[in-house]
Every structure is written in structure tokens, then in C-alpha cells.
């Protein structure tokens, strides 16, 4: 059978691939599995000659550029949704994709909240408006204002009701954390209106969401990151879970700023809730993940993987905070679960090979990239 050629679509700017350890590991794992795998960006597509200027790692921090054959299947791991990429991604005549396009967080949460399969896990969420904010801070002691198209915890604002008013904590687009007390509801609304204008990501809107008491460790926000992926037979399997703990007084649990930590999920949940309840929580998290993929694929088509941010409140109730079709995998390294990390790298390639073999049939030709024609230093930078 013909060796499958898998293209990994990613963002490249100059000679830098962000998240390049992850991308490098995908290529390396693909080689072990018997596939020809390379990384490319929308700028590297040579449509006339039906070739790709693809990149493969040759040493730590160094990549070789080569003329590569047209991919049998493309996995879209590009996180920069700028116009040239979106224009290419809309075309249905160019590539066979392993994962379909998804949507913005606000539209996704609206879909989930309206689904009978998921709505019991969804906190109250509305498109941001001053009126919606006022209603939410009147009803709940904790409220979040989030960008409907954000990632990495950027532009997220936490509003906590206190004895003398409110406390606002947010992470700006720059990554800087800000905090301020605000005495009255009217001032909160004015402050947040300025925030959503200043911290808007591209032209996206914001959403306002019911806050949850996730301080499983006093003074720190905690949530579970669950990774569900297709395996080599095209079936959804939960690959792993970790518990992410934010820095003290941080409004988010995101790890990209280096101020949080990652714990082994089972160990922590068992210690916090006891064995019996911990088992129920874990099973419910997995049920949520499988139901979510049913809803997503019914609406958007086939996917490769999803990362779920799952809130487990102080009473052990499970909530879906958000879902991401292009999640990071580094949390498993941070929790020292290297076998799970390796499985998380292997499964997307295995699924892409499964799709490619369906496309290829019994052709025995074996395409490989031509000898490298350029060599580029690309820094190893993880998101």
C-alpha cells in the first residue's frame, strides 16, 4: 500500500513556527508510524505544480525546507485565523482535511446551551451587552466577561461581588493582569464597557458567563483540561486529563504565562473528593466529552481532536467552560505524564493515516519529499 502523505497546516511567519515542539513531534511520530509527514503554511502551497514547500525537523530548533508531494490528507493545526488562511480554508477543491472548520466560542456555547445532550453542563452564557451584564451581576456573585473569539486567557475579565462592592480582575491582550475594586454596579458597567472596547480581539464580540466557584485550592482557580481524539479506527477516545491550577489571584488557569501549574487529575480529584465521588466525576467528564463530539460533528462535520476546559466546582458538579478544536498538548509534559503526551501526538497522525488509506486504496507508489533545498533555523517556541 502506498505510503500516506500527511500535511500539517500551521502558522509560519518568517522563519518561525510557533508551537514548534508539538509540530516537530508530530512529524517524528509520523515517520515512526510509516507516513511521510511535513509542516506547511498557506504561503507554501504551489497550486500550479501541485507541490508544497514543506518543512521537516532535522535538529533541535532547525528545520529543512523541501519540495514535497501534494498531501493525501491535511490536519489543520493553524491557530492564526487571519484572512489569507481563512480564504484558503474555505476552498473545498484544494485539500482533503481531517478536521472541518469550527466556529467562534460564543456561537459554540450558544449551540451547546441549546442542545439537549449538553445543556445540563453549560453555565448561563449571553452575548455581551450592558443590559446582560447588569442582569448577570445582579444574579450571580461571580461573573466572567470573555472574548467570543479569544484564546490563551487573553482579554478575560473576572467580576466578583464583595461586601463593599465589586472586585474586577482581568488579563489584557498583552498578558498583563490588572485588578481594581469598583464600588457600584453602574461603575462596573462603565468600566467593563471600556474593557470590551480596548481589549477586543480583531472585530469579535464578548460574552458574559455565569461564574463558578472553582477554588478547589483556596485562592486559586482550577479546572480540568480533557483531551479527546480520534484513534486509528476513527473512534473517539479520551486520551487524558490534567488539572490546571492558576497562579494565586489569577483570573484564569491558562499556562502560557508560566504562572500556573499542572497536577495529575486522578490523584488530585481523589484526594479532594474521595474515591467514590472522584470516579463519578471522572466518568461524567468523559460522558460530557463524548456527547460534545456528537453535537459538534452533527453540526460541523468530522474532527480530529478537541480540548475541553471542564470546571469542577467545590461541590463536585461538572461544568463545560469552553471547547477548543486546536488545543495545546504541553500540559501532559508539565504533569510528567509522558506516555499520555506521546499518545496525544500519535493519535492525530494515526487518524489521518486511516483517512489517507481510505483515499489511496492499493496504489504502491511511495511519495517522499525531494532532497531538502533550503535549510532554516526555526526557534522552538511553545504556546
pLDDT of residue 164: 84
Residue 315 and residue 302: Cα distance in Å, rounded? 35
pLDDT of residue 123: 95
Q: Calculate Rg over the CA atoms of the chain.
A: 22
Give the pLDDT mean for 145-169: 86
Query: At which residue does the C-alpha cell 467528564 appear?
Result: 285
Q: Is residue 108 part of a domain?
A: no
pLDDT of residue 111: 96
Residue 166 and residue 95: Cα distance in Å, rounded? 51
Residue 237 in grid coordinates? 477516545
Q: Is residue 330 part of a domain?
A: no
Give the pLDDT mean for 77-104: 90
Q: Assign residue 362 the CATH number of its domain.
A: 3.40.50
Do 201 and 145 belong to one domain? Answer: yes
Residue 318 in grid coordinates? 461538572
pLDDT of residue 61: 67
pTM of the model: 0.88
DSSP secondary structure letter of residue 43: G
Q: Is residue 335 part of a domain?
A: no
Residue 129 in grid coordinates? 451587552
pLDDT of residue 259: 62
Do 83 and 167 belong to one domain? Answer: no
pLDDT of residue 159: 95
Do 318 and 243 belong to one domain? Answer: yes
Closest CA to 5 of 368, 378, 372, 377: 368
Label residue 264 by pLDDT band (50, 70, 90): very high
Do 231 and 198 belong to one domain? Answer: no
Minimum mean pLDDT among 97-106, 253-262, 284-293: which range? 253-262
* 51, 69 contact by CB (below 8 A): yes
pLDDT of residue 256: 53
pLDDT of residue 162: 92
Specify burial of residue 198 (Cβ count, 10 A radius: 0-12, 13-18, 19+): exposed
Residue 119 and residue 125: Cα distance in Å, rounded? 11
Do 190 and 258 belong to one domain? Answer: no
* 317, 210 contact by CB (below 8 A): no
Which residue, 191, 210, 229, sits at the end of a domain? Answer: 210
Give the pLDDT mean for 49-63: 88
Q: Is residue 140 part of a domain?
A: yes
Q: What is the mean pLDDT of the chain?
A: 88
Do 320 and 218 belong to one domain? Answer: yes
Task: Number of helices (H) and strands (E) in the chain: give both, helices first.
Answer: 9, 18
Do 249 and 311 belong to one domain? Answer: yes
Do 200 and 226 belong to one domain? Answer: no
Q: Is residue 291 part of a domain?
A: yes
pLDDT of residue 377: 40
Whether residue 362 is predicted with pLDDT greater than 70 in this model: the reply is: no
Residue 289 and residue 310: Cα distance in Å, rounded? 9
Do 203 and 229 belong to one domain? Answer: no
pLDDT of residue 379: 35
Sheet bearing 165-171, strands edge to edge: 125-127, 206-210, 142-147, 156-162, 165-171, 177-182
Give the pLDDT mean for 140-169: 87
Q: Assign residue 277 the CATH number of its domain.
A: 3.30.470.20
Count how many domains the chain has.
Answer: 3
Residue 293 in grid coordinates? 463530539
Q: Is residue 242 part of a domain?
A: yes
Do 68 and 20 belong to one domain? Answer: yes
* 208, 125 contact by CB (below 8 A): yes
Alpha helices in the chain (DSSP H): 20-33, 83-90, 105-114, 130-139, 185-198, 265-273, 275-300, 331-334, 338-360
Contacts of residue 169, Cβ cutoff 8 Å, sequence gap at least 6: 157, 158, 160, 177, 178, 179, 249, 250, 251
Q: What is the pLDDT of residues 323-334, one digit of tens each?
A: 999 999 999 999
Residue 28 and residue 346: Cα distance in Å, rounded? 10
Q: Is residue 220 part of a domain?
A: yes
Give the pLDDT mean for 8-31: 90
Specify burial of residue 302 (Cβ count, 10 A radius: 0-12, 13-18, 19+): middle
Which residue, 305, 324, 343, sits at the end of a domain? Answer: 324
Q: Is residue 382 part of a domain?
A: no
Do 237 and 310 belong to one domain? Answer: yes
pLDDT of residue 257: 52
Residue 160 in grid coordinates? 466578583
Whether residue 193 is predicted with pLDDT greater than 70 in this model: the reply is: yes
Whether residue 378 is predicted with pLDDT greater than 60 in this model: the reply is: no
Do 154 and 229 belong to one domain? Answer: no
- Domain ranges, residue 183: 124-210
Amino acid at each position: 500500500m502506498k505510503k500516506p502523505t500527511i500535511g500539517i497546516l500551521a502558522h509560519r511567519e518568517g522563519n518561525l513556527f510557533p508551537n514548534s515542539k508539538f509540530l516537530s513531534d508530530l512529524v517524528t511520530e509520523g515517520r515512526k508510524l510509516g507516513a511521510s509527514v511535513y509542516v506547511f503554511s498557506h504561503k507554501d502551497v504551489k497550486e500550479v505544480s501541485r507541490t508544497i514547500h514543506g518543512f521537516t525537523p532535522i535538529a533541535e530548533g532547525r528545520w529543512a525546507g523541501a519540495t514535497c508531494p501534494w498531501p493525501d490528507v491535511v490536519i489543520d493545526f493553524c491557530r492564526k485565523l487571519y484572512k489569507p488562511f481563512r480564504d484558503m480554508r474555505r476552498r473545498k477543491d484544494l485539500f482533503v482535511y481531517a478536521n472541518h472548520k469550527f466556529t467562534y466560542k460564543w456561537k459554540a456555547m450558544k449551540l451547546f446551551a441549546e442542545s439537549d445532550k449538553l445543556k445540563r453542563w453549560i453555565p448561563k452564557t449571553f452575548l455581551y451587552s450592558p443590559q446582560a451584564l447588569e442582569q448577570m451581576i445582579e444574579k450571580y456573585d461571580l461573573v466572567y466577561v470573555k472574548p467570543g473569539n479569544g484564546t490563551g486567557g487573553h482579554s478575560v475579565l473576572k467580576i466578583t461581588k464583595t461586601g463593599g462592592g465589586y472586585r474586577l480582575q482581568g488579563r489584557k491582550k498583552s498578558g498583563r493582569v490588572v485588578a481594581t475594586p469598583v464600588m457600584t454596579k453602574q461603575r462596573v458597567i462603565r468600566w467593563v464597557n471600556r474593557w470590551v472596547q480596548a481589549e477586543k480581539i480583531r472585530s469579535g464580540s464578548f460574552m458574559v458567563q455565569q461564574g463558578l466557584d472553582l477554588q478547589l485550592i483556596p485562592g486559586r482557580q482550577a479546572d480540568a483540561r480533557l483531551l479527546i481524539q480520534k484513534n486509528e479506527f476513527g473512534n473517539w477516545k479520551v486520551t487524558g486529563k490534567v488539572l490546571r491550577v492558576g497562579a494565586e489571584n489569577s483570573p484564569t488557569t491558562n499556562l502560557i504565562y508560566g504562572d500556573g501549574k499542572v497536577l495529575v487529575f486522578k490523584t488530585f480529584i481523589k484526594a479532594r473528593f474521595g474515591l467514590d465521588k472522584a470516579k463519578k466525576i471522572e466518568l461524567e467528564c468523559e460522558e460530557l466529552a463524548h456527547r460534545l463530539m456528537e453535537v459538534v460533528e452533527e453540526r460541523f462535520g468530522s474532527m480530529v481532536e478537541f480540548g475541553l476546559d471542564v470546571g469542577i466546582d467545590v461541590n463536585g458538579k461538572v461544568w463545560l467552560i469552553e471547547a477548543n478544536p486546536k488545543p495545546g498538548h504541553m500540559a501532559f509534559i508539565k504533569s510528567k505524564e509522558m506516555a499520555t503526551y506521546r499518545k496525544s501526538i500519535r493519535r492525530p497522525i494515526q487518524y489521518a493515516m486511516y483517512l489517507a488509506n481510505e483515499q489511496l486504496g492499493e496504489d504502491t507508489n511511495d511519495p517522499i519529499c525531494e532532497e531538502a533545498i533550503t535549510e532554516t533555523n526555526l526557534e522552538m517556541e511553545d504556546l
